[in-house]
């Protein structure tokens, strides 16, 4: 077994130089801060360095290097496989660094690495502006951006990385660098999809885009028994839909909440969620066909603040539950793929197990495949198959459902989104980037992190 390798004197020196908090196993808040979003991850680091500023990040990196510590980097803590915490080693936690500054004139925003998506939206929406990002507000901006970033307005404005102007980073040597189109462009290519392999980002600068604040958005549901006709309608309806419209297909059991009639609670449903990144009236026209298909049993699709829509999936992904995910992209929703979705929808057991099937295309697909490290821009749809349970009880069954669902789709797999991987081994990481980009990332890794100090991630080994 590993043990924590730094001695008391080294820890003392770190503590006295540190502006934020350095938390060890004997500290009262240790139990709280060692936890990550996924409750199935139960790791006990030797030290958690909660950084208050970029100087703390530099000191923490140097401390990790000098003491040869296994080092995890954490911002929002939402890594599906829990890669932002480790046993025995060091966690460099950026969550306290949550500053956001909007420049409304130039339509740009600077956000520190500890910012959560909901916090960014809250600030930018005060100006009627937004960065395209993810669909659950408590997700971290940093990990999401570094993997690519898919969300409700990506078909209009691209991936999160497509609006990235620059990052400030701390490298494995403890140096501070800027990466942008002008400065360190090779690094800038790598951080747009290559994850945390090249250093710790301390802050991001993004372009902002007009949005809302009111949008036409929400989910329409039908009984899962109608999944085949609903999905065939959906396939035809989205062919040729405008970039403003983004949709996600959902499978789940209806929750027992005040918004759901009691007789529906627990029923297996298929839903189609839409968000129109344009005027509400255009959105109403664009979404009318969805709302009037067949006989929906629930319809939450209506004009609302974008901020409200952004929170709509939050309760389904509360921190602390046991989560397991399998993911793959497919080119199109063939009849066979539709049949598989319908079959696994009928077999959902846990009230919190679900599928989110993302529509891609639009602005995402118009950026060249080689312009950034992100791979799979040409994919049609991305499956995020979530086998979840409240606790350890029943978790094995849910994982098996997710694995079986994913396996049934295997003949149709194309790419996979790196931020939706569990710990699945090197071949899957290579698959996520494709062989050419993977080689380029390995070369970049050799330049910026030859000892693979940053290895608790979807790791690209130095090539």
Q: Considering beta carbons, is residue 39 or 283 the nearer one to ligand FAD?
A: 39
Q: Does 354 bind ligand FAD (CB under 6 A)?
A: no
Alpha carbons 110 and 28: distance in angstroms, whole number? 33
- For strands 245-253 and 268-276, give the pairing: antiparallel
Site string for ligand FAD, 107-136 (x = CB under 6 A): ------x--------------------xxx
Q: Considering beta carbons, is residue 79 or 124 the nearer one to ligand FAD?
A: 79
Q: Does 97 bind ligand FAD (CB under 6 A)?
A: no
Q: What are the residue ranges of helices labelled H in 258-334?
A: 280-291, 306-310
Distance in Å, CB of 361 to ligand FAD, minimum: 15
Site string for ligand FAD, 185-224 (x = CB under 6 A): ----------xx---xx-----------------------
Residue 295 phi/psi, 5° resolution?
Answer: -125, 85
Distance in Å, CB of 300 to ligand FAD, minimum: 18
- The structure tokens listed for 64 are 């990790």
In the list 37, 157, 322, 401, the residue contacting ligand FAD (rule: CB under 6 A) is 37
**Is there a contact between 49 and 67 (Cβ–Cβ < 8 Å)?**
no
262: exposed, middle or buried (Cβ count in 10 Å: 0-12, 13-18, 19+): exposed
Q: Does 70 bind ligand FAD (CB under 6 A)?
A: no
Alpha carbons 380 and 436: distance in angstroms, whole number? 21
Nearest 5°: CA angle at 69, between 63 and 70?
Answer: 130
Q: Considering beta carbons, is residue 147 or 362 the nearer one to ligand FAD?
A: 147
Segment interacting with ligand FAD (CB under 6 A) among 22-30, 79-87, 327-335, 405-413: 79-87
Q: Does 312 bind ligand FAD (CB under 6 A)?
A: no
Q: Does 64 bind ligand FAD (CB under 6 A)?
A: no
In the list 64, 89, 143, 376, the residue contacting ligand FAD (rule: CB under 6 A) is 143
343 Cβ neighbours under 8 A, 6+ residues apart? 408
Q: Does 383 bind ligand FAD (CB under 6 A)?
A: no
Residue 449 phi/psi, 5° resolution?
Answer: -150, 65
15 Cβ neighbours under 8 A, 6+ residues apart? 22
Which stretches of 189-341 are assigned E, i.e. beta strand?
Answer: 200-207, 209-210, 214-223, 245-253, 268-276, 298-299, 302-305, 325-330
In the list 59, 163, 419, 431, the residue contacting ligand FAD (rule: CB under 6 A) is 419
Q: Considering beta carbons, is residue 179 or 338 the nearer one to ligand FAD?
A: 179
Binding site residues, ligand FAD, CB under 6 A: 37, 73-80, 83-84, 94, 113, 134-136, 139-140, 142-144, 146-147, 149-151, 195-196, 200-201, 317, 419, 456-457
């Amino acid at each position: 077994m590993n043990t924590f390798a730094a001695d008391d004197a080294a820890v003392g020196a770190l503590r006295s130089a540190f502006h934020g908090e350095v938390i060890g196993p004997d500290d009262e808040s240790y139990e709280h801060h060692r936890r990550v979003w996924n409750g199935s991850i139960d790791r006990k680091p030797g030290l958690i360095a909660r950084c208050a500023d970029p100087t703390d990040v530099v000191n923490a990196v140097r401390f990790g290097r000098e003491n040869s510590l296994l080092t995890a980097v954490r911002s929002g803590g939402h890594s599906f496989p829990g890669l932002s915490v480790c046993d025995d080693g060091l966690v460099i936690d950026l969550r306290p660094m949550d500053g956001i500054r909007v420049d409304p004139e130039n339509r740009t925003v600077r956000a520190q690495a500890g910012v959560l998506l909901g916090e960014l939206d809250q600030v930018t929406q005060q100006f009627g502006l937004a960065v395209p990002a993810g669909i659950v507000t408590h997700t971290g901006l940093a990990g999401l951006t570094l993997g690519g970033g898919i969300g409700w307005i990506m078909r209009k404005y691209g991936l999160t990385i497509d609006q990235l102007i620059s990052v400030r980073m701390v490298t494995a040597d403890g140096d501070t660098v800027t990466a942008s189109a002008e400065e360190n462009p090779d690094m800038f290519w790598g951080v747009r999809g290559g994850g945390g392999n090249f250093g710790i980002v301390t802050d991001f600068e993004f372009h902002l885009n007009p949005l809302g604040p009111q949008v036409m958005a929400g989910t329409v549901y039908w009984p899962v028994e109608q999944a085949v006709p609903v999905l065939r309608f959906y396939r035809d309806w989205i062919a040729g839909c405008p970039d403003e419209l983004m949709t996600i297909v959902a499978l789940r059991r209806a929750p027992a909440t005040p918004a759901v009639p009691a007789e529906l609670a627990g029923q297996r449903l298929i839903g189609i969620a839409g968000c129109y990144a344009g005027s509400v009236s255009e959105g109403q026209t664009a979404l009318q066909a969805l709302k009037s298909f067949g006989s929906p049993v629930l319809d939450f699709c209506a004009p609302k603040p974008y901020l409200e829509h952004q929170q709509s999936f939050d309760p389904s992904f509360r921190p602390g539950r046991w989560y397991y995910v399998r993911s793959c992209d497919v080119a199109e929703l063939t009849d066979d793929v539709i049949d598989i979705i319908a079959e696994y929808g009928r077999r959902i057991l846990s009230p919190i197990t679900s599928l989110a099937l993302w529509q891609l295309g639009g602005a995402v697909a118009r950026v060249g495949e080689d312009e950034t490290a992100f791979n799979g821009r040409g994919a049609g749809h991305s499956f995020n198959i979530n086998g979840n349970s409240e606790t350890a009880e029943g978790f094995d069954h849910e994982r098996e459902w997710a694995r079986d669902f994913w396996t049934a789709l295997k003949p149709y797999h194309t790419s996979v989104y790196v931020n939706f991987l569990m710990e699945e081994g090197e071949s899957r990481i290579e698959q996520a980037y494709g062989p050419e980009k993977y080689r380029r990332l390995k070369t970049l890794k050799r330049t910026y992190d030859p000892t693979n100090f940053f290895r608790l991630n979807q790791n690209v080994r130095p090539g």
